Amino acid sequence: MEQQPLELFPFLANTPYTEMTLSKGAWMFREHEGCGRIGFVIGGSVKIFKEHSSGRSITLYRLGPGDSCILSMSCAMANPIHQASAVVEEDCRVLTVTTDQFRSLMERSSEARDYVFGLFASRLTDVLLLLEEVVFRRMDERLASILLEHAVRRGSDEIHTTHEQLAEEAGTAREVVTRVLREFVSNGLVIVGRGVVTINDRKGLARIGR
């Protein structure tokens, strides 16, 4: 799994960077914070999300190896404030560069620019898709999709998570997750236990989640 630092980001070759390890639960940045360094993920995963004073949250997307943080870049290039928070989900190795180094890299390297444009475009696409889901789709459909995504990411139909965490991911309340899961159970789509949801009928879930 572990890669040489520059395999994923060859355009960083002539830029001074710092390699570091972040362990699960560490904050990469918080919403409304200014920008320190720009991170390029080599291994592990990072969850990008928004939270609200009511205590609810919603997950926007995740960073994996080869990703880097468009929100920090956005801070560096234009809007000086982070628009969401980032926390490490699985222990992470990241390269970081300063905002100045990043800006100069953007001037020098057309490869780096292509990478960043592509990243901007795909994050914008992600967020627009999420917005569409939130506005137009029902909770059972969204939760079905989320469960399937988890199964794919972890390569297992046993998803180790709590109703609370699923609610934070979907942007809803725990009680709603409980209700929807109860419905899924009674249709034989999943089996639930304390801290674990096991998918029992992938195709059935996929029919709901589209």
Tell me how many helices (H) and strands (E) the chain has. 7, 8
Binding mask 4-43 toward DNA (x if CB under 7 A, else -) reads: ----------------------------------------
Candidates 149, 107, 151, 126; CA nearest to 15 is 107
Min separation Cβ 190 and DNA, Å: 11
The conformation of residue 69, written as its DSSP 8-state character, comes to: -
Q: Indicate the residue type of 90.
A: E
How much is the CA Rg of the chain, to the nearest whole Å?
19
Alpha carbon distances (Å) from 156 to 59, 92, 100, 197: 21, 21, 42, 11
> Which of these segments, 35-43, 72-80, 111-119, 180-188, binds DNA (CB under 7 A)?
180-188
- Rounded Cα distance, 161 and 140, in Å: 17
Which residues contact a second copy by CB under 8 A? 50, 52, 54, 56, 58, 60, 70-71, 73-74, 77-79, 83-84, 106-107, 110, 113-114, 116-118, 120-125, 127-132, 134-136, 171
Taking the least distance from each CB to a second copy, the nearer of 41 and 73 is: 73
Q: Which does 84 bind (CB under 5 to 8 A by kind): DNA, a second copy, none?
A: a second copy
Please report whether residue 87 would count as binding DNA according to CB under 7 A.
Answer: no
Min separation Cβ 177 and DNA, Å: 8
Provide the 10 A C-beta neighbour count for residue 182: 11
Please report whether residue 132 would count as binding DNA according to CB under 7 A.
Answer: no
Q: Which does 152 bind (CB under 5 to 8 A by kind): a second copy, DNA, none?
A: none
Please report whether residue 194 would count as binding DNA according to CB under 7 A.
Answer: yes
Min separation Cβ 139 and DNA, Å: 3
Taking the least distance from each CB to DNA, the nearer of 67 and 168 is: 168
Q: Angle 155-160-161 (CA atoms, 0-180°, nearest 5)?
A: 125
- Rounded Cα distance, 200 and 181, in Å: 12
**Looking at 26, 164, 188, 210, which residue binds DNA (CB under 7 A)?**
164
Candidates 152, 143, 210; CA nearest to 182 is 143
* Contacting residues toward DNA, per CB under 7 A: 54, 56, 138-140, 162-164, 171-176, 178-182, 192-196
